[in-house]
Amino acid sequence: MDALLIDRLQFAFTISFHYLFPQLTMGLALLIVIMKVLAIRKKSELYNNSARFWAKIFGINFAVGVVTGIPMEFQFGTNWARFSTFAGGIIGQTLAMEGIFAFFLESSFLGLFLFGEKKLGQVGHLISAILVFLGSWLSGYFIIATDAWMQHPVGYALSPDGAVHLTSFWQLLLNPWALSQYAHNMVGAVITGSFVMAAIGAYYILANRDIDFGKTFIRIGVIAGLTASILAVVPTGDFESRNVANHQGTKFAAMEGLFETKRGAELTLFGQPNVENLKLDNPIAIPRLLSFLTYLDWNAEVKGLDAFPREHWPDNIPLLFYSYHLMIILGIFFIIVMKTAAFYLWKKKLFEMRWLLWILLVSFPLPYIANTAGWMTAEVGRQPWLVYGLMRTTDGISPTVSASSGMFSLIGFIGIYILLGTLFLLLVIRQINRGPATNNLH
């Protein structure tokens, strides 16, 4: 394997593993704030104990998120040195701002939130929860703004030495790409948080223990989960895909599996991209729908891959196509599950319907898969560019780091992350078994 492939695999592996944790952090941060508000408004120990229980899981999850996050920032320098020389003056801005505005806030108040409830009092504790929420969501924004610049570079100019430099701070920070991607990503995080919460609630009811907690978790999880699942499609997902259609024609054509430009293009539900013969095998499609969804016109022309030079095509079209469609299918599934659960919750029958509780319980890994698939769509689809239209991925790697050094670190990361993942599961399962009832404040 050559160095380029190893560098890409290492980044892909470490970022995919890392993002399993922040998505729960960001989703739970919101739900914990909601619990804490309910606890104070209803003066309810049930909600307070729930918040404390989730804070424990949040703490474990946060720790793994922090330690796996550090390698992300450093890898820009270690494995992508040419890219860093080229664009560091711009994307370094948002990364440094993440540290200074988000991480300091988040880490300072997390310590207070986890260990300071007695010292702070209830309102102070709520405020620290809100600040942790704010910090984690801000951190998400700065990272999305960094990625958005790579997807859709704005506010820059080329320097004589071949690097790019910043010309507009506000364009970088308020990149329209970042705004739409952020909205879509954050509802994705809330979906993860909601499904995890509902799953643990369902577990308690099915296991016939901590029933009141189980019902509380399901109620919050289902209501938040339904809201977020709908928002993920309309308006955020819709907006996002139109953005891609307007600015990243190659990604759009490849993820939709559209090899030929046509008027009244069909929306493919599934199929198998055949890159050799440049067609989609065995498609199941709805005629003209893609044209309508993209341009609100049943006969609008949608550009296929043939409209672009081949060297600008993403280098792994099947992976891109399948990731995107997996995300879409899961997204539809989330709406169906949460709508059904919400309906029976409203009918006050949900807690007796064991089959539905079972579905809620076993569905919790799916949002993780959907979020990962969504990010794979975004990043595999950005290929062959590292910075869309400006720098190709092949030109971004470190000139002095050999494939064998890369292999050493990749294998090491895989080993350490397997260990981390195992420990994480062990500790979270332990907390779930101990249950939320043991969380009285002494």
Partner 1 sequence: MEILWFCILVFMLAMYIVLDVFDLGVGIIHRLIGRKEADRTLLIRTIGPVWDGNEVWLLAAGGTMYFAFPKLYASGFSGFYLPLIIVLWLLIMRGIGIEFRHQIQNSMWKSMWDSVFSFASILLSIFFGAALGNIIRGVPLNQEGYFFEPLWTTFTIVPEAGILDWYTVLMGLVALFTLATHGANYVAMKTECELQQRARDVVKKSWWGVMILSIVAAVATFSIRPDIGRNYHDYPWGYIFPLSGVVSLISMYLFTRRGKDTKAFVSSSIFIAGMLAGTAFGLFPNLLTASTDPDYSITIYNAAAHEYGLSVGIVWWIFGIVLTSGYFIYLYRTFRGKVNATPEEVGY
Distance from C-alpha of 5 to C-alpha of 368, rounded to nearest angstrom: 25
The smaller minimum CB distance to partner 1, of residues 115 and 298, is found at 115
User: Could you tell me which stretch among 30-38, 196-204, 338-346, 396-404 binds partner 1 (CB under 8 A)?
Assistant: 396-404
Closer residue to partner 1 (CB): 68 or 185: 68
Part of the chain binding partner 1 (CB under 8 A), chosen from 17-25, 57-65, 225-233, 309-317: 57-65
Complex with partner 1: residue 349 or 430, whichever CB lies closer: 430
Q: Which is nearer to partner 1, 85 or 274 (CB)?
A: 85
Residue of 339, 366, 373 lying closest to 237 (CA atoms): 373
Q: Which is nearer to partner 1, 309 or 399 (CB)?
A: 399
Q: Cα(178)–Cα(55) distance, rounded to whole angstroms?
A: 29
Binding partner 1 (rule: CB under 8 A), the pick from 25, 84, 185, 229 is 84
- State the Cα angle at 12 between 373 and 369, rounded to 5°: 25
Question: Does the protein bind partner 1 through residue 434 (CB under 8 A)?
Answer: no
Decide: is 421 part of the binding site for partner 1 (CB under 8 A). Answer: no
Q: Is 420 in the site for partner 1 (CB under 8 A)?
A: yes
Contact 185, 140 (CB under 8 A): yes
Q: Least separation, in Å, of the C-beta of 396 and partner 1?
A: 10
Smallest distance, partner 1 to C-beta of residue 48, A: 13
- Residues numbered 108 to 137 that lie near partner 1 (CB under 8 A) are 108-112, 114-116, 119-120
Half-sphere exposure of residue 45: CA atoms within 13 angstroms, side-chain side: 6
Helix, strand, coil share of the chain (percent; to 5): 75, 5, 20
Choose one: 158-166, 191-199, 253-261, 314-322; the region binding partner 1 (CB under 8 A).
158-166
- State which of residues 163, 174, 179, 289 lies at the interface with partner 1 (CB under 8 A): 163
Q: Which amino acid is at 256?
A: E
Please report how close the Cβ of residue 1 comes to partner 1 at its closest, in angstroms: 17
Query: Is 90 an interacting residue with respect to partner 1 (CB under 8 A)?
Result: yes
Q: Which of 100, 211, 332, 429 is the binder for partner 1 (CB under 8 A)?
A: 100
Does position 104 interact with partner 1 (CB under 8 A)? The reply is yes
DSSP 8-state class, residue 442: -
Shortest gap between Cβ of 252 and partner 1 (angstroms)?
31
Residue choice 98, 240, 266, 379 for contact with partner 1 (CB under 8 A): 98
Residue 338 identity: M
Identity of residue 138: L
User: Read out DSSP for 116-173?
Assistant: -HHHHHHHHHHHHHHHHHHHHHHHHHHHHHHHHHHHS--SEEE-TTS-EEES-HHHHH
Query: Is residue 13 involved in binding partner 1 (CB under 8 A)?
Result: no
Segment interacting with partner 1 (CB under 8 A) among 39-47, 161-169, 262-270, 345-353: 161-169
Size of the site for partner 1 (CB under 8 A): 71
What angle do helix axes 354-362 and 317-346 make, rounded to 10 degrees?
150
Is residue 95 within the footprint of partner 1 (CB under 8 A)? yes
DSSP assignment of 314-364, as one string? -S-HHHHHHHHHHHHHHHHHHHHHHHHHHHHHHTT-GGG-HHHHHHHHHTT
- Give me the least distance between CB of 420 and partner 1, in Å please: 7
Q: Interface mask (CB under 8 A) for partner 1, residues 166-205, using x and -?
A: xx-x------------------------------------
**Residue 404 found at the interface with partner 1 (CB under 8 A):** no
State yes or no: residue 87 binds partner 1 (CB under 8 A): yes
Q: For the chain, how many residues are written? A: 442
**Rounded to whole angstroms, how far apart are CA atoms 169 and 156?**
9
> Is 74 an interacting residue with respect to partner 1 (CB under 8 A)?
yes
Q: How far is the C-alpha of 330 from the C-alpha of 341, rounded, in Å? A: 16
Q: Does 318 interact with partner 1 (rule: CB under 8 A)?
A: no
Residue 271 and residue 281 in contact, taking contact as beta carbons nearer than 8 Å: yes
List 40, 59, 312, 390, residue binding partner 1 (CB under 8 A) = 59
Of positions 34, 37, 82, 344, contacts partner 1 by CB under 8 A: 82
Nearest partner of 58 among 147, 189, 186, 185, judged by Cα: 189
22 binds partner 1 (CB under 8 A): no
Structure tokens of 127? Answer: 């405020």
- 403 lines the binding site for partner 1 (CB under 8 A): no
| Residue 68 sits in the site that holds partner 1 (CB under 8 A) | yes
By CB atoms closer than 10 A (0-12, 13-18, 19+), residue 269 is: middle
Please state, in angstroms and rounded to a whole number, the distance separating the CA atoms of residues 103 and 72: 14
Report the nearest approach of partner 1 to the CB of residue 195 (Å).
24
Handedness of CA 391, 154, 322, 71 (dihedral sign): positive
